[in-house]
Structure 1
């Protein structure tokens, strides 16, 4: 097998850099305009590239959106795992704070909403979203297992089921945060208290202490 030449490696790096810059610039465009209002020209203008550069990396605006959604979702989970790894102590308050921190990511919430609307209207997008969701849920399940271990407990139900429940709770908290329902004062504290109660039930009823 021949070794790639210096010029080949240079072209590959340039293409990868172009792709990354297009994806980075696309995030704000999708969040600001909404998926179905975004054009190729919007994306190339935001990234400072030509249409030729775009089509040498992507086939459509939807393809860019799928990659943006995947990258942002995985980045969110990566940051959450890093927080768990770095924590000196993991307890229910830590988990609640982590959920609130993740819920404050307005960009992810908008991207998820856009993806959901697209999937409701387009069968192909529905299949892509289903595949992405399964992948992300599997990664989320791994993080739940890590959190449970740090809490000194182990789940008594399949991690996939726990992940589904926690994701639903997380989405509800994210929606409340984004829409301004989770605010300072009595109402906001009541919402956080309810989430804390649900978390307590999830941990105590769906897990058991690790053997000493």
Structure 2
């Protein structure tokens, strides 16, 4: 009798994951993290519960896979924007214009905001969310430092705190825009205030004599 084939991801697994994550984003945003069931997510993705449990142990685990996917794309967009702005006259002012919000961003905000409230009441979820948030902030902090350096500026406050403030403005602005889209267009708060805040929270680098 021949040796058993080793178990591992098949060619179809990335497609399965992608469809489950897309279905989860849609269902969590439409019905809420707790109200959306595993059955509904699988039905929307076109799979059985078996496909879910071959990839995830729980809805929490599914959320964090979705978190990594969505925030990974955010980091990619910010990194691309920072690269494009390198050497321009106003990299701080140009950043927000290159990070316009789309429908997927709005859906993700609905999901992540609800899960954050859930984590505030659940110590285990909070611990895992904190670890994921820290990794995201570390990447964003590095990009923010690059942007400031290209603008000839140095942070005058703790860089992690500054990154937290940038994230808070973006998320808070999006929350208000979802409720009052006609009075506060998406991205408006960032457009007006982020360049001002980044300049206020940094100082010009000393120019060394030639």
1:1-59: per-residue Cα shift (whole Å, max 9, x none)? xxxx9x75885322333222211222111111110011111111111111111111111
Corresponding residue number in structure 1 for 2:150: 150
Corresponding residue number in structure 2 for 1:172: 172
TM-score normalised by length of structure 2: 0.80
Give the structure with the larger helix fraction.
1
Q: Which runs of 5+ in 1 are unaligned?
A: none
For the residue of structure 1 that corresponds to 2:119, the secondary structure is helix
Match of residue 51, structure 1, among 46, 49, 53:
49
- Alignment partners' CA distance in 1, 2:148 and 2:182: 26
Q: Which runs of 5+ in 2 are unaligned?
A: none
Moved over 6 A (4+): none
- Alignment partners' CA distance in 2, 1:182 and 1:202: 27
For the residue of structure 1 that corresponds to 2:55, the secondary structure is coil
Given that 1:76 and 1:102 are in contact with CA atoms closer than 8 Å, whether structure 2 keeps it comes out as: no
How many residue pairs match? The answer is 200
1:75-123: per-residue Cα shift (whole Å, max 9, x none)? 1121122122123624343134246x24872122112211112102222
- Alignment partners' CA distance in 1, 2:32 and 2:70: 16
For the residue of structure 1 that corresponds to 2:180, the secondary structure is coil
> What is the CA-CA distance between 1:159 and the residue it aligns to?
1.7
- Alignment partners' CA distance in 2, 1:167 and 1:19: 27
Corresponding residue number in structure 1 for 2:29: 31
Structure 1's 33 and 201: CA in aligned 2 closer, same or farther, altered over 3 A?
closer
> What is the CA-CA distance between 1:148 and the residue it aligns to?
0.8
What is the aligned-residue RMSD (CA, Å)? 2.8
Given that 2:92 and 2:148 are in contact with CA atoms closer than 8 Å, whether structure 1 keeps it comes out as: no
- Alignment partners' CA distance in 2, 1:182 and 1:145: 34
For the residue of structure 2 that corresponds to 1:154, the secondary structure is strand
Structure 1's 205 and 45: CA in aligned 2 closer, same or farther, altered over 3 A?
closer
Corresponding residue number in structure 2 for 1:207: 203
Corresponding residue number in structure 1 for 2:111: 111
Corresponding residue number in structure 2 for 1:19: 17
Structure 1's 109 and 142: CA in aligned 2 closer, same or farther, altered over 3 A?
same
Given that 1:73 and 1:108 are in contact with CA atoms closer than 8 Å, whether structure 2 keeps it comes out as: no
1:122 matched to 2:122? The reply is: yes
TM-score normalised by length of structure 1: 0.79
